[in-house]
Chains A and B, each alone.
Chain A
Amino acid sequence: MSLMKKILSVKNITTGYDKNIIITNASFDVNPGEFIGIIGKNGAGKSTLLKSLRGFLPLVKGSITLFGKELKSYSQRELAVQIAYLQQQVEMTFDYTARDMVMAGRYPYKKWWEQSSDSDADIVDACMQYTGVMELANTPIRAMSGGQRQRVYLAKVLAQQTHVLFLDEPASGLDLFYQEEIFRFCQEMCKYGKTVIMVVHELNLAARYCSRLMLLKEGNIIADGNPGDVLTDELLTEAYGVDIRSLINKETGHVDIFTVPAPDDSRKKELIKTIIGDKHNHGKAVAYE
């Protein structure tokens, strides 16, 4: 028996969109301070799992408890005080500034008639300073680069001051440095007691920073545990459907994950011949062997 209280307890959940079932019979517990990466190929149900944990999708079967209480019994506002959720893509219509966006994180703490106070402003400032976007406070988000935006959104979910952070692919499309920075922020937050669940595509970074990985295949969790135990050749190859190798790089000590290309067949050579044509070889004959 663990002395620490469980954050989330998921029992046999089946869920999806309307009649389209995506996740079947998933069960797991989440403990405080864990940095969980949800991995798996596109369409495996990673985002769906995260959304259902946040209560955005109705459960067909099973139950989710948050801090020992049924997720369903929380009001929307109570949930927003416990779990901050960063969606995959935020579409902005208007020129809201970074400060406006981060201030939105304080919304669940206010009664409907209340305005934001000085203490809200202090929290917002602290979050923006922590993620390094203070100089951008009055810049419209639409005028920012992807990396800057993502740091603003991260400041926003931090301003929500929740125990739990759900991040849906926060690092995709970012420069290498920003990607790693987001993982570093999360690892640090977990060190101070927050719990992070993140949908990840960057397996190499996940291996280094996450404390636990959950591997999804077609809506089923096929592995759940230490990164070292999950990132095996067999499991990854099964989940991604292509030949994958995972090696420890002797120089860095980090895990290197790469795919092994399937051998070329004659059909593929024909295709390449058609695609390349003979414009590029300056009249010389090219052997497509």
Chain B
Amino acid sequence: MNNYHHKLIAVILFVALLLVICTSLSAGQYDLSFMQVVAWFFHKMGLPFLENINVTEQQEAVLMFIRSPRTVVGLLVGAGLAASGAVLQGLFSNPLADPGIIGVSSGATFGAVIAIIIGINSTSLVGLPISAFIGAVIAVSLTIGLATRHGRIPVLTLLLAGVVVGMLFSALTAAMLTIMDDHKVQQYLFWTIGSLDYRRWEHVFMGVVPISLGIIIMMLMARHLNILALGEAEAKAVGMNVTKFRLILLAVATMTTASSVCITGSIGFVGLIIPHMMRMLVGPNHRHLLPASMVGGAVFLVFCDAVGRMLLPNSEINVGIMTAVLGTPYFLYLLRKNMDIR
């Protein structure tokens, strides 16, 4: 993995990002071509290209108020989930860790159910996300609390505690579902699959600060993450305060994931496969891995969302379903390919 290789990957990811943004902005039931989107960008920036292509006022409104926020939410959430996934995998030195494993998703889902039962999701746009965020933070705190012994957090205990807490919150959610009205169950179902539908600029504003901040902090900690990923004994041998750094990174990854999940509902696979994929492309050094995962996650999520809007003529497939459908075979392919090398 030399410098040239890294630069090439960076260029490829950047081009993919631009392509996927334009595709996402042009995909959907309201007719808009890819070139119109490109032309719209040029017009907005005052550049003298594609002046012969017209964008109507209505089309501009769709772009501005429906597709742009949806795309930006997708970029933010994809970046946040993938970067957090990379951090958690490094933190546990376990390539199969993902944000779901320490209880984020199940906690957020429980929080969302509570919000739906109380009904604050219909009175305020931020009600459900805030409730989901609180649920996620409680679940992760419980996981960490259960796993901490004498100021140490053994990885295996943490993962097991995460599974137990996940099961507990899933059971609580299930209990709530049995006493809920049918239409509320419908709302829950809608949320839990994970979607970028009807996401407005308000959602962008809600997520942009915590997610960007989380990603920036994680990137600043890349060097420490590299040490942690060598395993606890190695990290201690070079004088790292392992527990302190584990807690800080866990907190940041939790905040980032919870902020993502609470806006879109739980979206699986991004936090698992993107870091894995990027590690194969740029290597395990987090200084390269984290930026690559961030861009890769954004590209993947927005791509899945766009494909979900293009496949069926008159309806959409939720992005959470698309990530699983597209992610699973690719993940299996990568695993097999990797096995052949060894």
Chain B residues with Cβ below 8 Å from A85 are 237
Pick the contact of B229: A87, A94, A97, A112 (CB < 8 A): A94
Which of A81, A93, A100 touches B239 (beta carbons < 8 Å)? A81
Tell me, in angstroms, the Cα distance from A107 to B235 when the chains sit together: 9
A48 CB–B CB distance under 8 Å: no
- A contact residues around B238 at 8 Å (CB): 80, 104-105, 107-108, 160
Q: How far is the CA of A84 from the CA of B90 in the complex (A)?
A: 23
- B-contact 0/1 string along A102-133, CB 8 Å cutoff: 00110110101101100000000000000000
> Across the interface, do B226 and A100 meet the contact criterion of CB distance under 8 Å?
yes
CB distance B236 to A56 under 8 Å?
yes
Most chain B CB neighbours (cut-off 10 Å) among A84, A97, A112, A115: A112
B residues 279-314 with Cβ under 8 Å of A? 279, 283-285
Please name the residue on chain A nearest to B239 by beta carbon: A80
A25 interface hit (Cβ, 8 Å):
no
| CB neighbours of A115 from chain B (8 A) | 223
Task: State whether B231 touches A93 (Cβ < 8 A).
Answer: yes
List chain B residues, Cβ under 8 A from A93.
93-95, 229, 231
User: In the complex, what residue of chain A is closest to B220 when comparing beta carbons?
Assistant: A113
Q: How many pairs of A and B residues are in contact by the CB < 8 Å rule?
A: 74
Q: How far is the CA of A281 from the CA of B226 in the complex (A)?
A: 58
Contacts of A81 in B (CB 8 A): 239
* C-alpha gap A91/B227 in the complex (Å): 13
Instruction: Give the number of residues in B that approach A within 8 Å (Cβ atoms).
Output: 26
Contact assessment for B223 and A116 in the assembled complex, using a CB-CB cutoff below 8 Å? yes
Task: Mark contacts of A46-73 with chain B using CB atoms, 8 A cut-off: 1 yes-contact digit, 0 otherwise.
Answer: 0000000010100000000000000000
Cβ of A81 to closest chain B Cβ, rounded Å: 7
Q: Mark B38-64, 1 if CB is under 8 A from A, else 0.
A: 000000000000000000000000000
With contacts A96-B230, A100-B226 taken as known, whether A76 is within 8 angstroms of B220 at the C-beta atoms is: no
- Among A78, A94, A160, find the residue whose CB has the most chain B CB atoms closer than 10 A: A94
A95 pairs with B220, CB closer than 8 A? no
Chain B residues with CB under 8 A of A138: 1-2
A97: B residues at CB distance < 8 A:
1, 283
Q: Judge whether B234 and A104 touch: CB under 8 Å.
A: yes
Report whether A107 and B283 are in contact in the complex, using a CB–CB cutoff of 8 Å. no
Footprint of B on A, CB under 8 Å?
54, 56, 75-81, 84-87, 90-97, 100-101, 104-105, 107-108, 110, 112-113, 115-116, 138, 160
What would 7 more interface pairs be, CB under 8 Å, given A90-B231, A107-B223, A115-B223? A56-B236, A87-B233, A93-B93, A94-B93, A96-B229, A104-B234, A107-B239
